[in-house]
Structure formats: C-alpha cells, structure tokens
Structure 1
Amino acid sequence: MTTQPGTETAGRVIDVLLLFTDGPDELGVSRIARELGLSKAVVHRILQTLVARGMVTLDPQTRLYRLGATAAALGARALRELDLRAVAASALRRLQEETRETVTLTALVPGGRVYVDQIVSTHEVKMTVELGRRFPLHAGSSGKCILAFLPEGRREEVLAGGLPALTGSTHTDPDALRAELEAVRELGYASSQGERQADAGSVASAVFGLDGDVRGSVSVCGPRSRFTSQFVSACAPRVVAAAHDISTALGWTGISPVAAPKVSSHATTEGSP
C-alpha cells in the first residue's frame, strides 16, 4: 500500500515529538535528523511548524529545542483522562502508607512503558521517577512484570529486538531474562536491584484490564540499600494485592490470557515492611 503524502508528513511530525519523550530534554536539528534519518531541511521545517503552535520552543542561545507549553498541556490532559491513573489512586495511597516508600504506577505504551503517577516516600532519602518518559520493558521491575504477561509473540519481539544496558545490572541476555519472566509469572511480581537506575531497588506487579490484557504495573521503589531480601519478601504481597485491586476496578475477572498471578490479593505479611 502506498503511503499518502499527508500521512507520511504527520508520521514525521509525531516521530520528532516522540524523540523528546525518550531522549534528552533538549535536541538540535542535526541530532533529530540523524536519529530519524531525515534531512536537516525537513527537520527544520517540522520544528518551525511545532514552534508556531507552541509544541516546542527554541533556545536562541543554544539553538536547541525542547517541549513547549502546548505539549505540556496535552500531556497533563492525557494524564487527567487516563482511567488507569484515576482508578489506581486509592490503592497507591494505601500501598505508600503501608511501605513508606515511593509508590509508582506505570502504563504500557507503544515501544515501552511510562510512569503515569507516583506518591513519594516519607523517608528523608527517597526515590522519585520521571512521569511521562518512555522506558524499555526489559529494565526494572515495573517493565519486567509487564513484559512477563505480554502475549508470547509480543514478548519475543522485545527479547529479539535488543536489550540495551541502562546500568551494569540490566539484563541483556535474552535467555536469562526469558527464564526470569517465567518466574515472574509464577510469583506474580518482579523485583529489581539497580537494573534501570543504579542505586534503586523495586518490587512491582502487573495490572490487567477488562479483557485480561496487561495494562501496566504498580511498584514500590526506593534506595537499593533499603531493598533487602527481607524487605522485598515482606513488601511483595502488598504490591500484588494493590495490583489486584486496581485490576479488579478496571473490570479484570482474574484470568490473564498469559497466566494469572498466583499470589492471592489477600496475602498478608507479619508486621509492616
């Protein structure tokens, strides 16, 4: 099928905007052209259009572009309208009160995942995440538990597409990661020690929608030093319970097309993490 000129142009505009969600806060014409395989002239025309509509702004000193007020407004509106975020609010608050660590909510998006909400820890030393930035699925517990419950074909596409190292602890061996994802499906949760962010630890569980497909994940995260094996073991049932409650509110009946987590939503621990 032949691509229509208007469709091709729209696709290029979207590709330019998406670069700002994955990479540095500021980008220049040369880098955008190189990343997308476009001429500098084409990139410059696209950026001028985006500037005129407030989607990006140009720093006259550095000649670098960054997302503008219109893009920020669109992102804020998208977050307000996202059912997953609204439905998860009470479960996130409860989980943060139980663990005192930062609690996050992640949504599955094309090409990876994004954090859409967080409630920050009450500890003096704490972890925070960047909302709206896309991250790969293979790095960190929030991504791994989503990846574990994707349909096999989509999961294998991710495993075969390259697993870049974000830190020295990121899983880059497809076979090793494949084995871990099987364990995640058995346990109902994933854990991470410095896989996405070097000094961070986390525990996450997948969230499912009405059709049983994975929609995202909920996690507890914080400084790696506090995420001992004992803390992870105590925290995991609470994370699984929160994910189950969110999934149920989204209409999930308890059955995933891949496999349902085996940990009960009513699992408890002795004492608080």
Structure 2
Amino acid sequence: MTNQTAERQSSGTEVAGRVADVLLLFAGGPQYLGVSAISRELGISKAVVHRILQSLVSREMLEADPGGYRLGPAAVALGVSALRRFNVRNAAAPVLRRLRDETGETTTLSGLVADERVYLDQFESPHEVKMTVEVGRRFPLHAGSSGKVILAFLPEERREALLARPLAALTPGTVTDVAALRAQLAETARDGVGVSLGERQADAGSVAAPLFGPDGEVHGSISVCGPRHRFTPEAVDRYRALVRDAAEEITRTWTTHR
C-alpha cells in the first residue's frame, strides 16, 4: 500500500466518523440543530459541517427548514428498522396477544423514533367492526394515548421543547392548548396510563401505557384501541388496569432478558 493510498483511506475514515458524529448529535438531543451548534459541539469548522449537512440532506437523512436541521425520513426509516429488531417486540408479542383476547380489542406496540411515535406491531380485534393501525407510520406525540404516555415520561427539557412547537389538530378532539395538555400529561404521569377518545382519529378510543427500556428511559408504549362507542367509562376503567399491568410485564421481560 502506497503512502498516498493510506492517506486517502485515513481521510475517508475521518470523514465517515464526522458524518456519524453529526447524526449522533440528533439522537436524543434537540429536535433542531444549526451549523454553529454542531461546529461548537464537535470542534470542527463550519465549512466542514455545512458540507456534511448538505450531503445528509441530499440523502434525506436530514431535513432543513428555518428552524435548523432535523432528522429526515431516511433516518426515521432506519430507526424504525432498528426498533423492529429490538427484543421488545419479542417481549411484547405474547402479552399483547393475551391482552387482545382479554379485551376483544386491537392491541398495539409503538416506538419512539426521533420526536415522533411509530407503530411497530399490532394484534387485531376479532370483531367485524374494529380498529387497525398502519405499522411504520409516524404520528406526533401530543395526539392520542400511545403518544401522550410517551410524552408524559420524557425528560422535562425534551418534553417542554416539544410542547413549544406548533401542535397540529388531527381531529376536533385533539388537545392543542399547551396548558390543558400539560395537565393531561401530569395526570398520565401520576396514573401511568393515558386515555384518548377521538384525539387522533375521531371515531376511535384507546388506553395506553408506557414502555421503559433497559436504560430506564421511555422508549415506547402499548395500547388497547377500538371504535369509540365501545370505549364506555366502564370499559376504560377495566382497560386501565389491564394495560398498565401488561406494560409492566413487557418492560420487566425486556429489561431482564435483553
């Protein structure tokens, strides 16, 4: 190997390392990052950061808008692919199947990907009229019980950063008032369970509980969901205990058999 070849390989490795370092800054960090912040954090020039960012944007790993740069659809797709391989799916499957049989309603598994929630798995209700979800589709955390239970247990700084963003109304029942949403999240954090009646889908009801990973952080949620008319106060009260217990069982299995 010539010195020139070795130098090119060394340079390529260094560039790849810098690209990886830039992407890792977005993992669990602020939703948006700018050139100056990345340059300061990694100790590399703004010109180099700008070139890396443009390359990542061209591959949809990042997106650029007036707020700065954020993870793009390609990065989210990679995250979903990784989450699908997490042991949590193995831990959740038998529990969610049993929960589906106990409630007669569809049960779901969601994962936290960047600042959104993605359905990872579902076990469909045997009812002819039932709710089904689109596995792999992204949703905001503020709308629906599966997202709200994740949002309620995020670190305060990250939660407040998300609440500072515009909150889209997916249905007339979506809570977009920040004060009202904070009150709901506080109640969810105390109870360990979230309830939604028409917040993400107008005719749907759901009860959800958070899932915590081996690191003790919230990484997802499970839910029981179905047509809103079947989610009576009596049914919701019954599902609260069942979903909470199921989530605790999945978390326990996941963290002890990873």
CA deviations 1:24-46 (Å, max 9, x no partner) are xxxxxxxxxxx968xxxxxxxxx
- Contact 1:219 1:239 (8 Å CA) reproduced: yes
Per-residue deviation, 1:78: 4.0
Amino acid at match of 2:238: A
Per-residue deviation, 1:9: 1.2
- 1:86 is matched with which residue? 90
> Structure 2 vs 1, CA of residues 160 and 223 (structure 1 numbering), >3 Å: closer, same or farther?
same
Alignment partner of 1:10 is 2:14: no
Alignment partner of 1:150 is 2:120: no
- 1:133 is matched with which residue? 137
Structure whose residues are more often helix by fraction: 2
Q: Distance in 2 between matches of 1:161 and 1:4?
A: 25
> Structure 2 vs 1, CA of residues 107 and 193 (structure 1 numbering), >3 Å: closer, same or farther?
same
In percent, how many aligned pairs have the same letter? 52
> Structure 2 vs 1, CA of residues 155 and 75 (structure 1 numbering), >3 Å: closer, same or farther?
closer
> Structure 2 vs 1, CA of residues 150 and 76 (structure 1 numbering), >3 Å: closer, same or farther?
closer
Q: Distance in 1 between matches of 2:140 and 2:242?
A: 25
Per-residue deviation, 1:86: 1.8
Aligned residues: 202
- Contact 1:145 1:205 (8 Å CA) reproduced: yes
Per-residue deviation, 1:79: 5.8
Per-residue deviation, 1:250: 2.0
Q: TM-score, normalised by structure 1?
A: 0.69
Q: Distance in 2 between matches of 1:144 and 1:7?
A: 31
- 2:237 is matched with which residue? 233
- 1:264 is matched with which residue? none
SS of residue paired to 2:255: coil
Q: Distance in 2 between matches of 1:76 and 1:175?
A: 31
- 2:23 is matched with which residue? none
- 1:178 is matched with which residue? 182
Alignment partner of 1:98 is 2:102: yes
> Structure 2 vs 1, CA of residues 77 and 238 (structure 1 numbering), >3 Å: closer, same or farther?
same
> Structure 2 vs 1, CA of residues 85 and 121 (structure 1 numbering), >3 Å: closer, same or farther?
same
> Structure 2 vs 1, CA of residues 157 and 36 (structure 1 numbering), >3 Å: closer, same or farther?
closer
SS of residue paired to 1:251: helix
Q: Distance in 1 between matches of 2:133 and 2:167?
A: 21
Per-residue deviation, 1:4: 4.9
- 2:31 is matched with which residue? none
Alignment partner of 1:189 is 2:235: no
- Contact 1:15 1:36 (8 Å CA) reproduced: no
Alignment partner of 1:216 is 2:234: no
Q: Distance in 1 between matches of 2:179 and 2:52?
A: 42
Q: CA RMSD for the aligned pairs? A: 2.3
Show structure 1 runs of 5+ residues with no match.
Answer: 19-34, 38-54, 56-70, 253-273
- Contact 1:188 1:205 (8 Å CA) reproduced: yes
Q: Which moves more between the two structures, 7-16 or 113-122?
A: 7-16
Show structure 2 runs of 5+ residues with no match.
Answer: 1-38, 40-45, 67-73
Per-residue deviation, 1:11: 3.1
Amino acid at match of 1:210: P
- 2:17 is matched with which residue? none
Q: TM-score, normalised by structure 2?
A: 0.73
> Structure 2 vs 1, CA of residues 145 and 10 (structure 1 numbering), >3 Å: closer, same or farther?
same
Amino acid at match of 1:148: A
- 2:117 is matched with which residue? 113
Q: Distance in 1 between matches of 2:54 and 2:86?
A: 28
Per-residue deviation, 1:177: 0.5
